[in-house]
Chains A and B, each alone.
With several copies, the nearest count.
Chain A
Amino acid sequence: MREMTYAQAINAALDRALGERAETLLYGEDVAKWGGIFGCTKGLATKYGDRVFDTPISESAILGSAVGAAMLGQRPIVEIMWIDFALVALDQLVNQAANVRYVSRGALTAPLTVRTQQGAMPGSCAQHSQNLEAFFAHTPGLVVGLPATAQDAHDMLLSAIWCDDPAIVIENRTLYFDRTEPVALDSPVAPVGGARVVREGADITVVTWSAMVRKALAAAESAASEGVDVEVIDLRWLRPLDMHTVLSSLAKTSRLMVVHEANRTGGFGAEIAARVAEDALDLLDAPVRRVAVPDSRIPAAPHLQQALIPTKEHIARELVMLGKF
């Protein structure tokens, strides 16, 4: 175990992937010579030479070439600096990468990994603040993960790279540097998928992911002091989706809250709620509650962002209300 930041854990995972698998490539804007705008890829170009390189600001070329290189046996790891920028080239993931294996009945595959990050940060503008995981989670053929901890930033990235299908790992930049955590670096690479109960509780199941995991955990502590015992599930992967863990928890708690930073309507929280309404309606003792950004664009000013984005206090209030329902 080594103490490291989420960003350093990513770096370690990339280092391991490049070291262990000769067919990996790492590229994107600014990733090589200077190690990435967030430093996640620092030192890798020096260590791995031209397998790590900088690209022009051409997301279609980045993603498209990843598809082609993957078809020919490479295992490209490409960076889309902000998830918002994926929208200039979404075709290459949704129309191209996702189809390769299916349409060719496995004769061709596209085992590429996209690393990107998302979310609002104080001052970030409306074009750099979106949480777009729902777009990818709605795309059959893709694998979608959102690590919430340094350990998962490391492990899930490796799982994605090892995965034989196109995967997108959506990081959250508020997590990159904000603290260090002990990270185990040499465990075997796990297959993609699997949620995790990160706090046990008897009264409410909170399903959440990415940066909201910590807020939910903190809110659960507040709620505990008001007598509401909250179980928190870090969903980790949206595709494949581990409903088993969610439903097992719900069997115990009978109350469901989903928390995400994406805006509510059409967010992936809807899918969790829908699955429960379909497959486990009887388990529910109270209405499902989604805590999310209301349907709005995201303003830049921090105090305006705060008025929209669920805070720990906001989640705690909702938990207490749901617990007392």
Chain B
Amino acid sequence: MTAIGVLSGVAAEPGLALRERHCRALQDLDLYEAMLAIRVFEERVRELRLDGDVVGSVHLEIGQEAIPVGALLALRPGDPVFSTYRGHGWALACGSPFAAVFGELLGRETGVNGGRGGSAYFSDVAHGFYGENSIVGAGAPIACGAALAAKRAKSGAAVLTVFGDGAMNQGSVSEALNFAAALKLPVIFLCENNRYSELTLLADVVPSDQLYERGGPYRIPGVRIDGNDARTVAAAVAEAADRARAGDGPSLIEAMTERIAGHYIGDHEQYRGPGELERICADEPLVRLARNLPTADLREVQGRVAHLMRRASTSALEADLADASAVRDHLYADGALYA
């Protein structure tokens, strides 16, 4: 047993503690544990969704876990993270407590946003997770603003904004690339290229699927990396973060990956070719990493993770529903503004 505790299972509110760690200091088993935590969390979410405890659209990151885990190992506390609706794993990697994210999806008072955000639009600023966004591409300009603030405050923070391959065709992302480069903002544009946007293949709607090149005209260094390997992701994000902190401006990372659970829960995935899912499942991050790990270690980690997630989801289920009498609160700072 070599895991050194990326799961802070003893704390009052168990979650992942990645920001304080460094990728090189971790064993493969630790990486496995972190990714597995996200995987099992989301598998539990799927059950809760299919049981009807969670309702509405839920977008799982299953298959893509190496990206948030790798990225957060490269970031520091205080580095703001902005994700898309496919953001559970990003929140968890930031350190959001499992139970609080379960609670959010379940509409509990204990949810990170008391059920206001739901699966697709929650934030957890206490853990540096500035939130999901359900408008494709909208997070990129917002992250530029966070970077502007970081730059002004000389906080040394690097801001990470994550979006999908399809989002690269949204005008706001192009505007953000130019804006960030023109102002030399400390921001990292991380594109999770899972080849699909909902039902549509990226390759069917772009003249070239080499998305890392999109930063070229703005002189933004772009790399395409293996997004199914957390260490590779961590290295790329670390390099980009160094560039950001050094005042050298934005970077664009295209992390190649595959989502293996559909666009949302309920997606029939008819768009898959024959053998496609089998092929990509054989190379997904957990399977890949598990190959070289001792079965006994895997078992132990799996047991621990399963236990934690059961506990966390149970505690969320047992918590009170968000207080409906407060549903109109927090529209404005000042009650007088409701008029």
A164 an interface residue at 8 Å Cβ cutoff?
A: yes
A294 touches B169 (CB 8 A): no
Of the residues A96, A106, A122, contact of B330 by C-beta under 8 Å: A106
From residue A174, how far is it (CB to closest CB) to chain B in Å? Answer: 12
Instruction: In the complex, identify which listed stretch (B25-33, B131-139, B282-290, B293-301) lies at the interface while the others stay far away.
Output: B131-139
Using a CB-CB cutoff of 8 Å, which residues 272-309 of chain A contact chain B?
A: 294-297, 299-304, 306-308
A119 to B119, CA, bound (A): 17
Q: With a CB–CB cut-off of 8 A, which chain B residues contact A63?
A: 141
Give the docked Cα–Cα distance between A189 and B138 (Å): 33
- CB contacts (< 8 Å) of A124 on chain B: these are 56-57, 118
CB of A108 within 8 Å of the partner chain: yes
Contacts of A61 in B (CB 8 A): 141, 144, 172, 175-176, 178-179
Question: Which residues in A have their C-beta under 8 angstroms from that of B205?
Answer: 54-56
* A29 within 8 Å of B (CB atoms): yes
Tell me if B11 counts as interface (CB < 8 A to partner A): no
Interface residues as binary, B192-222 with A (CB distance below 8 Å gives 1, 0 otherwise)? 0000011110001110000000000000000
The complex places the Cα of A250 from the Cα of B175 at a distance, in Å, of: 49
- Selected from B57, B122, B130, B169, the residue in CB contact (under 8 A) with A56 is B169
**Are A37 and B199 touching (Cβ within 8 A)?**
yes
Contact check, B135 vs A123: say whether CB atoms are below 8 A apart: no
A residues 41-60 near B (Cβ < 8 Å) are 51, 53-60
Quick check: B141 and A65 within 8 Å, CB to CB?
yes
Q: Which residues on A sit within 8 Å (CB–CB) of B135?
A: 84-85, 88, 91, 95-96, 127
Contact A302 B55 (CB under 8 A): yes
The residue from A56, A106, A121 contacting B182, defined by CB atoms under 8 A apart: A56
| Residue of B123, B141, B182 with highest tally of chain A CB at under 10 A | B141
Chain A residues within an 8 Å CB radius of B119? 123, 125, 300
Task: Please tell me if B80 contacts chain A, counting CB pairs below 8 Å.
Answer: yes
Is the CB–CB distance between A300 and B115 below 8 Å? yes
Task: State A126–B134 Cα separation when bound (angstroms).
Answer: 9
In the complex the two chains form, is B327's CB within 8 Å of A64's CB? no
Taking CB as reference atom, which chain B residue is nearest A99?
A: B121
| Closest chain B residue to A35, Cβ basis | B199
Proximity string of chain B (297-322) to chain A, C-beta cutoff 8 Å, 1 when within and 0 when not:
00000000000000000000000011
Query: Known: A104-B117, A300-B115. Is A34-B55 also a contact (CB below 8 A)?
Result: no
A300 touches B117 (CB 8 A): yes
Given contacts A96-B135, A303-B324, contact A191 B271 (CB under 8 A): no
Q: Judging by beta carbons under 8 Å apart, are A300 and B178 in contact?
A: no
**Of B13-21, B146-154, B228-236, B245-253, which stretch is located at the interface?**
B146-154
Which residues A21-51 have CB closer than 8 A to chain B? Answer: 25, 29-30, 33-34, 37, 51
Interface residues in B, total, Cβ within 8 A: 81
- A-binding segment of B1-9, B35-43, B67-75, B331-339: B331-339
What's the nearest-Cβ distance from chain B to residue A212, in Å? 20
Instruction: Write out, one digit per residue, whether chain A residues 92-118 have a CB within 8 A of any chain B CB (1) or not (0).
Output: 100110010111111111000000000
Q: Which residues of A contact B330 (CB under 8 A)?
A: 101-102, 104-106
Give residues 216-273 of A contacting B (CB, 8 Å): 239-243
Asked if A143 is at the interface of the complex by the 8 Å CB criterion, the answer is yes
Assess whether A74 is in contact with B149, with CB atoms less than 8 Å apart.
Answer: yes
Given A33-B200, A68-B145: A105 and B140 interface contact (C-beta under 8 Å): no
Contacts of B140 in A (CB 8 A): 64
A193 at the interface (CB under 8 A from B): yes
Task: Name the B residues within 8 Å of A25 (CB-CB).
Answer: 148, 152
Provide the main secondary structure of the chain A interface: loop
Could you tell me the distance in whole angstroms from the C-beta of B163 to the nearest C-beta in chain A? 10
Asked if A79 CB lies within 8 Å of chain B CBs, one says no
Asked if B327 and A104 sit within 8 Å, CB to CB, the answer is: no
Q: Which residues of A contact B146 (CB under 8 A)?
A: 68-69, 71-72
Q: At the interface, yes or no: A140 with Cβ under 8 Å from chain B?
A: yes
Chain B, Cβ-Cβ closest to A73: B149
Do the beta carbons of B107 and A65 come within 8 Å of each other? no
Residues of A within 8 Å of B178, CB to CB, are 56, 58, 61
The reply on B167 being an interface residue by CB < 8 A is yes
B123 to A104, Cβ gap below 8 A? yes
Tell whether, in the assembled complex, residue A58 and residue B142 are in contact, meaning their CB atoms are under 8 Å apart: no
A304 adjacent to B170 (CB under 8 Å): no
Contacts A61-B144, A65-B145, A302-B55; A140 near B117 (Cβ below 8 A): no
Residue pair A104, B182 in contact (C-beta under 8 Å): no
Q: A71-B146, A109-B333, A296-B327 are in contact. Are A55 and B171 (CB under 8 A)?
A: no
In the bound complex, residues from chain B placing their C-beta under 8 Å from that of A107 are 113, 123-126
**Residues of B contacting A300 with CB < 8 Å?**
56, 107, 115-121
| B329 interface residue per 8 A CB criterion | yes
CB distance B172 to A108 under 8 Å?
no
Please tell me if the beta carbons of B116 and A64 are within 8 angstroms of each other in the complex.
no
- B116 near A104 (CB under 8 angstroms)? yes
The answer on a CB contact under 8 Å between A58 and B175 is yes
Q: How far is the CA of A105 from the CA of B330 in the complex (A)?
A: 5
User: With a CB–CB cut-off of 8 A, which chain B residues contact A191?
Assistant: 334, 336
Residue of B118, B200, B325 near A125 (CB, 8 A) is B118
Contact A34 B166, CB 8 Å, known A25-B152, A72-B150: no
Q: Which 10 A-B pairs have the closest CB atoms?
A: A123-B56, A300-B118, A64-B141, A68-B145, A301-B107, A301-B115, A65-B145, A72-B149, A56-B169, A69-B145
> Could you list some 13 contacts between A and B, CB below 8 A?
A25-B152, A34-B200, A57-B166, A57-B167, A60-B175, A68-B145, A72-B146, A72-B150, A88-B138, A124-B118, A125-B119, A164-B334, A301-B107
Q: A61-B172, A73-B149, A107-B113 are in contact. List 14 more A-B contacts (CB 8 A).
A: A25-B148, A25-B152, A56-B206, A58-B171, A60-B172, A64-B176, A68-B142, A68-B143, A68-B148, A72-B150, A95-B135, A95-B138, A128-B134, A301-B321
Interface residues of A (CB under 8 A from B): 25, 29-30, 33-34, 37, 51, 53-61, 63-74, 76, 84-85, 88-89, 91-92, 95-96, 99, 101-109, 121-128, 140-141, 143, 163-165, 191-193, 239-243, 294-297, 299-304, 306-308
